[in-house]
Amino acid sequence: MSDYLMQDIQLRIPDILRYAAEQHGDLTMPSLDEEGSWNRDTYKTAQQRARRLAGAISSLGLAHQSRIASLALNTRRHMELYYGVTGAGHILHTINPRFSAEQIRFTVEQADDAVIFFDPAFSQQAEAIANACPSVRLFVALCPADHLPDLKLPGLTDYESFIAAAPADGPSALSERDGAFLCYTSGTTGNPKGVLYSHRSCMIHALAASATGNFGVGPGDVVLPCASMYHATAWALPMVAPMNGARIVLPGSKLDGETLLDLCANEGVTHAWGVPTIWKAVLDAALQSDRNLPDLRRIFIGGSAVPQQLKRDFEDHLNVEIVQIWGMTETSPLGVIATPSAALKREAKHTQDEILHAKQGRVPYGIELSIVDEGGKALPHDGATSGRLMVRGPWVVNQYFGHDAPVTDTHGWFDTGDVATVDPLGYMQITDRTKDIIKSGGEWISSIELENTAVEHPDITSAAAIGLPHPKWDERPLLVFSKRSGSAVSATEALTFLSSRLPKWWVPEDAIITNELPLTATGKVDKKRLRQIHADHYQKLEKQD
């Protein structure tokens, strides 16, 4: 008698697309092709093509669990790679094309990628890889033969020719503990770090994300991921949509307001994902042309704070709900989601709005959160005490790819590098990055709250708060900001503005106006650079006194 008496069926990613092909095979997934036209393949076609892709890959004779890379935007061919590469038993390394050439070289070498599938738009990156990484034996351009770019790359062929004659191949000998996706995250220092998602972690994540109180995507819905498929599987939407009988719209490189507005209207998009700037452009396009979006119900915004005005405008003018989500490459990415819990639904409307606006959200089933002090002691969930944010769960990283040791602590917690509060209702709010935190007289000051408050001033367009060495308080904040052109706002006025809204001891002693804040390669404010530039600012001030 066997020990395990239920059917011992592995949780495997390709089974999602098989399910979709069988159960709702005629649903279309409109996709902007590299060659500029809109393709309307169905899930059934996508599955057939993904299986032929798996067959073509299998014929290369690579060892099980080889790494195969994509350099691609959100397109149907990228979606086929999600299912075809994993279906052939290999790992899809989704290269971030925004990484520097050196970062890309590092990731391709560490991953030991055997094949690179690339959008012709990323030909330059492909050439750089070919030059730097002689071990890549095959380059496949994600286009048909007549759009094949004229490049000198090992084995260069086009995707359509590559899969044309291949036999369909299935996920025969796949374990749920096998790797599925390899996704690198770049810090501000050091080399990018790779997170190797397993079939299992992706499947549990997709199932949990599908719950009614999380993404709430169901049959007949239409999802539009403007988050990138090279960023932590675009919030798992390429899995969540076919798993739930929803369509997926893949806009490729067309992320301008007009195009997305048309897409939402014409395809009946119900749920969309992305960063605020993208959705601000859609809002502007809608308001200018006096159009509305009757099908669109929710936009999930992750990756940066949601401007209050954007949220209000979407609700007031378009009757669209903006939902914050927070996650990171290391959390697959769903960490928390700002949908109302049962308890929050009992609060007054304005309390609900305040919490859902200000906070990143609450954990779905599967994720555990903890905030701890510097000694690792758990801190209360009182909404006021902030601590290092620790997470745990079946879709959270344990060890980076190619590293020797786990990155989790002895109790299995992963340190997110964020500093956060958790309120009694379970809503988490990020107050800082650990490395950006300002510690004044032994107490923490939230740089994020300083910055968010500063940009509420109508003439301040962007702001960074950094902690600088201070003779008396160890560290004090300095505000560096840029102002609206033509504005006469002064440093003193900015600080007075902060004083009216924040605890006195949080307000920086000084502020500096700059034309432009320095940015990192991934587009975030480079606070490390700012700290270097202004390192002795307070020490000099003290001497002047």
Sole binder of a second copy in the list 26, 146, 290, 374 (CB under 8 A): 26
Selected catalytic residue, list 80, 160, 330, 475: 330
CB 181 within 8 A of CB 86: yes
By CB under 8 A, is residue 4 in contact with a second copy?
Answer: yes
By CB under 8 A, is residue 487 in contact with a second copy?
Answer: no
Which residues within the stretch 101-120 sit at the binding site for a second copy (CB under 8 A)?
Answer: none
Contact pattern from residue 288 through residue 307 relative to a second copy, giving x for each residue in contact according to CB under 8 A and a dash for the rest: --------------------
By CB under 8 A, is residue 11 in contact with a second copy?
Answer: yes
By CB under 8 A, is residue 2 in contact with a second copy?
Answer: yes
Distance CA 482, CA 209 (A): 39
| CB nearer to a second copy: pick between 182 and 437 | 182
| CB nearer to a second copy: pick between 72 and 182 | 182
Distance CA 367, CA 346 (A): 24
Is there a catalytic annotation at residue 439?
A: yes
* Closest among 44, 54, 55 to 21, alpha carbons compared: 44
Distance CA 129, CA 115 (A): 11
- Residue 138 — φ and ψ, nearest 5°? -150, 130
Distance CA 329, CA 215 (A): 18
By CB under 8 A, is residue 16 in contact with a second copy?
Answer: yes
Sole binder of a second copy in the list 197, 300, 326, 538 (CB under 8 A): 197
Amino acid occupying residue 278: I
Which residues within the stretch 402-431 sit at the binding site for a second copy (CB under 8 A)?
Answer: 402-404, 406, 408, 412, 414, 426
Contact pattern from residue 381 through residue 400 relative to a second copy, giving x for each residue in contact according to CB under 8 A and a dash for the rest: -----------xxxxxxxxx
CB 328 within 8 A of CB 185: yes
Which residues within the stretch 146-175 sit at the binding site for a second copy (CB under 8 A)?
Answer: none
| CB nearer to a second copy: pick between 48 and 447 | 48
* Closest among 125, 165, 123, 159 to 140, alpha carbons compared: 159
CB 350 within 8 A of CB 336: no
By CB under 8 A, is residue 68 in contact with a second copy?
Answer: no
CB 521 within 8 A of CB 98: yes
Contact pattern from residue 242 through residue 281 relative to a second copy, giving x for each residue in contact according to CB under 8 A and a dash for the rest: -xxxxx----------------------------------
Q: How far is CA 218 from CA 80, 346, 438, in A?
A: 22, 25, 44
Name the β-bridge partners of 408.
414
By CB under 8 A, is residue 237 in contact with a second copy?
Answer: no
Selected catalytic residue, list 45, 75, 107, 185: 185
**What are the residue numbers of the active site?**
185, 330, 439, 444
